């Protein structure tokens, strides 16, 4: 089963949700702003995405701090989930950022 990291206020996130429903994908929604990922989950997500955390960080958010090392950035993201790019779809093995939402089709 897939997990969908969703922000209902984000148009891309809503579009991704619509795409997954149209494709009849079995997934659960996690509103990551209400139910943030902890540091270990962020590390796991980074591995599934095959990306350093900085590559799925929203660096224009006011809480972002430049020149952090990976561990500091992970801790900051765990405390400030708004820093995480959205939407993200993942399962036990793989993940992708849905920008554009059609990226999800690559891992389904």
Catalytic residues: 10
Rounded Cα distance between 76 and 74, Å, is 5
Written as six digits, the tokens of 37 are 């990922």
Beta bridge partners of 96: 89
Written as six digits, the tokens of 103 are 């990226």
Burial of 74 per CB tally in 10 Å (0-12, 13-18, 19+): buried
DSSP assignment letter at 13:
H
């Amino acid at each position: 089963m897939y997990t969908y990291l969703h922000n209902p206020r984000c148009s891309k996130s809503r579009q991704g949700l619509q795409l997954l429903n149209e494709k009849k994908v079995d997934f659960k929604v996690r509103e990551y702003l209400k139910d943030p990922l902890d540091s270990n989950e962020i590390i796991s997500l980074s591995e599934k995405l095959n990306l350093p955390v900085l590559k799925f960080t929203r660096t224009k958010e006011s809480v972002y701090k430049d020149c952090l090392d990976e561990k500091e950035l992970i801790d900051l993201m765990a405390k400030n989930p708004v820093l995480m790019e959205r939407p993200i779809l993942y399962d036990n093995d793989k993940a992708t950022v849905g920008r554009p939402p059609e990226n999800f089709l690559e891992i389904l």
